[in-house]
């Protein structure tokens, strides 16, 4: 599927996740966040950077992993990205949501 | 004389010993395999043990039987890998290596979640990823008459990611057969966004939970087990009550990886996902569940990896460039209950799709579709495991790299 943000055509899957991280920019992150009624603050960006680093290093993402990382505490994580923080934060970060093999 | 040392005599380590014994020149290389335990378990059988489908003797054999002649089987606890000096410190003694293969697997870590490994462990809280856990659960289930059964996944990655779903499906059949299905509520609780997380499988298999009347609780990030009040609680204060909690605890690599400073936060060893060479040490290779590669932690994956890794060890010895060959290939039967199963075949890039396997049009197995034939395939796999897989014998018509033949891609 193609989705257009700020006149840029993006490849996304059925759920709106970017399929090619190289298409991601901060500006696109800001627009994706708006779709979830989120205004990105410095703390949001810290989390987004952490998520992108983990994915680049092939490391699995989990709520407990984020807790252990010390980037953010879990209550705050839920407050920043309401409605399933991992699902929402990965979408804004332009990376795939955590999946199983099926 | 040079030494090749394999750590772990599970599925991966045993396969590597069998592959390499005939390929390394005996006058130049001595092969050691180290494992403290005497019993080799057929881990896929742990899924069937709780439901009295398999007996104890069908899932375990003496490990020694599968270690080939010409390989030195060292039955000792591994204390530490000293990668600076190419040494493995054992409980009693030390082994030096020129090449090291880490095949120490992964295991459950129930201490990672508050209240899980509590006084209720194996009373109302069970795992089925260990032999002891599966047996304890079998005994519990034999007397379980009614109530809430919760099948729960703590966090990814886990060994055999479909096993908890299969467990829920088999539980549905089991209680149905006993005539108590209406008295048992089954709930599947996952940290992921659904029971099926890939586009194609969620479309084609979404019906299964509904058909079997299994309730789904997605996006559940467990904070603790409140074992005194029989409920699991997540970070968003969601609660799920249980009478019987069947959980897949956090999976982690072996403690020896942590003691040796070779792992990530979950004690998995950073590994090149196509060559299986460790990222940090050229003479260390990693296979199976012990790696951090983004493939499923499963026996079939280890089997395909073993073929690539054998070639790469020989290339490494001959100072040639390694093959970037392993593609994440996995091939798994998924029990759906009532004597039916699905088959999935996929890799790093290609998600599971429908089709036929291994031959286009002919099959005889069907991908992503329930059939009795697939169920027989799953049961036959136990024989294949003991008699072919562990011995490093290639499985006919199933290649190390995933084939696109017979797959309905882009549909």
Q: Is the pLDDT of residue B231 over 90?
A: yes
Q: What pLDDT is recorded for position A84?
A: 84
B282-294 pLDDT tens trace: 999 999 999 999 9
CB pairs under 8 A between A and B: 79
B18 or B411: which leads in pLDDT:
B18
Catalytic residue (choose from A2, A57, A101, A102): A101
Inter-residue contact B288 to B160 (CB < 8 Å): no
Catalytic residue check, A101? yes
Inter-residue contact B377 to B333 (CB < 8 Å): yes
Q: What pLDDT is recorded for position B199?
A: 80
> Is the CA virtual torsion B266, B269, B274, B276 positive or negative?
negative
The pTM assigned to this predicted structure is: 0.94
Residues in chain A closer than 8 A to B156 (CB atoms): 60, 62, 98, 100
Whether B198 sits inside 8 A of A59 (CB atoms) is no
ipTM score assigned to the predicted complex: 0.85
For chain B, the distance separating the N- and C-terminal CA atoms, rounded to the nearest angstrom, is 55
B137-185 pLDDT tens trace: 999 999 999 999 999 999 999 999 999 999 999 999 999 999 999 999 9
Whether A65 sits inside 8 A of B219 (CB atoms) is no
From the list B131, B160, B231, the residue with the least C-alpha distance to B189 is B231
Q: Which two tokens stand for residue B116?
A: 């899980």
Largest CA distance in chain B: 66
- Compare all CA atoms of chain B with the CA of A69 and give the residue at the minimum distance: B265
Whether A101 sits inside 8 A of B161 (CB atoms) is yes
* Chain B (255-314) residues lying within 8 Å, Cβ to Cβ, of chain A: 264-266, 273, 292-294, 296
Please report the beta strands in B235-310, taking only residues with DSSP state E, as ranges in sequence order: 239-241, 244-248, 251-253, 284-286
Q: Which two tokens stand for residue B295?
A: 């493939």
For chain A, the distance separating the N- and C-terminal CA atoms, rounded to the nearest angstrom, is 21
Mean pLDDT of B246-270: 96
Residues in chain A closer than 8 A to B271 (CB atoms): none
B200 CA: distance to closest CA in chain A (Å)? 8
Residues in chain B closer than 8 A to A60 (CB atoms): 155-157, 266, 294
Q: Which two tokens stand for residue B373?
A: 């034939």
Interface check B328 vs A, CB under 8 A: no
């Amino acid at each position: 599927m193609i989705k257009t943000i700020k006149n840029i055509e993006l490849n996304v899957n059925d759920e709106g996740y970017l399929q090619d991280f190289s298409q991601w920019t901060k500006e696109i992150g800001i627009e994706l966040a708006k779709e979830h009624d989120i205004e990105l603050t410095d703390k949001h960006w810290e989390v987004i950077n952490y998520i992108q680093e983990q994915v680049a290093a092939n490391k699995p993402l989990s709520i407990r992993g984020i807790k252990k990382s010390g980037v953010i505490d879990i209550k705050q994580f839920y407050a920043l990205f309401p409605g399933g923080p991992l699902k929402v934060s990965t979408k804004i970060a332009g990376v795939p949501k955590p999946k199983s093999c099926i | 004389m040079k030494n090749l040392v394999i750590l772990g005599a599970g599925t991966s380590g045993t396969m590597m010993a069998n592959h390499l014994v005939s390929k390394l020149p005996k006058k130049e290389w001595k092969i050691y395999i180290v494992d403290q335990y005497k019993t080799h378990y057929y881990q896929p059988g742990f899924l069937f043990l709780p439901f009295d489908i398999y007996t104890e003797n069908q899932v375990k054999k003496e490990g020694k039987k599968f270690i080939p002649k010409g390989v030195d089987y060292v039955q000792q606890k591994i204390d530490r890998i000293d990668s600076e000096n190419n040494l493995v410190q054992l409980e009693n003694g030390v082994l030096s290596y020129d090449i090291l293969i880490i095949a120490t697997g992964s295991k459950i870590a129930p201490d990672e979640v508050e209240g899980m490994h509590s006084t209720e462990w194996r009373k109302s809280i069970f795992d089925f990823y260990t032999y002891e856990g599966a047996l304890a659960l079998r005994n519990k289930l034999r007397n379980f008459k009614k109530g809430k059964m919760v099948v729960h996944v703590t966090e990814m990655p886990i060994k055999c990611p479909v096993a908890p779903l299969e467990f829920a499906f088999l539980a549905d059949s089991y209680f149905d057969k006993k005539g108590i299905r209406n008295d048992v509520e089954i709930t599947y609780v996952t940290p992921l966004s659904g029971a099926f997380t890939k586009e194609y499988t969620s479309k084609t298999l979404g019906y299964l939970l509904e058909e079997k009347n299994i309730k789904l609780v997605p996006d559940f990030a467990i904070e603790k087990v409140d074992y005194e009040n029989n409920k699991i609680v997540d970070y968003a204060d969601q609660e799920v009550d249980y009478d019987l909690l069947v959980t897949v605890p956090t999976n982690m690599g072996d403690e020896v990886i942590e003691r040796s400073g070779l792992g990530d936060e979950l004690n998995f060893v950073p590994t090149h996902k196509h060559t299986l060479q460790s990222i940090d040490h050229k003479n260390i290779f990693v296979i199976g569940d012990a790696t951090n590669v983004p493939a499923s932690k499963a026996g079939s994956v280890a089997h395909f990896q073993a073929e690539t890794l054998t070639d790469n060890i020989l290339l490494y010895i001959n100072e040639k460039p390694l093959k970037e060959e392993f593609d994440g290939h996995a091939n798994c039967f998924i029990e759906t209950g009532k004597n039916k199963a699905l088959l999935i075949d996929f890799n790093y890039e290609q998600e599971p799709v429908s089709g036929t396997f291994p031959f286009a049009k002919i099959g005889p197995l069907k991908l992503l579709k329930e059939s009795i034939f697939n169920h027989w395939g799953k049961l036959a796999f136990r024989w294949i495991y003991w008699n072919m897989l562990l011995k490093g014998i290639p499985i006919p018509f199933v290649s190390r790299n995933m084939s696109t033949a017979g797959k309905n891609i882009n549909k």
